[in-house]
């Protein structure tokens, strides 16, 4: 359960995050708003807390949970490597990110070692099945 990705794979946890995006909430608030049993809420909050997605402060018997964006930001950074695939018309920021992405080392490296790019391949029919090794 370590990774950011596994943590947000759970629908209830995503619902909690979305709820907390509006404002901080107590466990009971979440319980009522999302109609899930209290132990379930607490367990998911635990996972989110240990993953750094949320933090809590104590208010008498209540715990108020609020968002901590770092892990989501990390996810955002992971997505960066794919943005150029759908952002053709970009604003300044995205253009900047795209540039970083294109400059990234492995793009060319991998293409080179994987033999050819697809365009070339079409005309490059092998005369015999190429051995694995």
Q: Write out the chain in H/E/C secondary structure.
A: CCCHHHHCCCHHHHHHHHHHHHCCEEHHHHHHHHCCCHHHHHHHHHHHHHCCCEEEEEECCEEEEEECCHHHHHHHHHHHHHHCCCCCCCCHHHHHHHHHHHHCHHHHHHHHHCCCCHHHHHCCCCCCCCCCC
x/- contact string, 1-20, with DNA (CB under 7 A)?
A: x----x--xx-x--------
CB-wise, 10 or 98, nearer to DNA?
10
- Is 40 near DNA (CB under 7 A)? yes
- Nearest distance, CB of residue 39 and DNA, angstroms: 3
Binding site for DNA (CB under 7 A): 1, 6, 9-10, 12, 26-28, 31, 36-47, 56, 60-63, 125-132
């Amino acid at each position: 359960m370590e990774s950011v990705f596994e943590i947000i794979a759970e629908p209830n946890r995503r619902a909690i995050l979305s709820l907390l995006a509006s404002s901080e909430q107590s466990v009971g608030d979440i319980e009522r708003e999302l109609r899930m049993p209290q132990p379930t809420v607490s367990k998911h909050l635990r996972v989110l807390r240990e993953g750094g997605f949320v933090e809590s402060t104590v208010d008498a018997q209540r715990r108020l949970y609020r968002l901590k964006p770092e892990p989501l930001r990390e996810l955002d950074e992971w997505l960066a490597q794919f943005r150029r695939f759908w952002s053709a018309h970009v604003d300044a920021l995205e253009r900047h990110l795209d540039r970083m992405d294109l400059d990234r080392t492995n793009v060319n490296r991998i293409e080179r070692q994987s033999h050819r790019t697809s365009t070339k391949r079409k005309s490059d029919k092998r005369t015999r099945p190429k051995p694995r090794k």
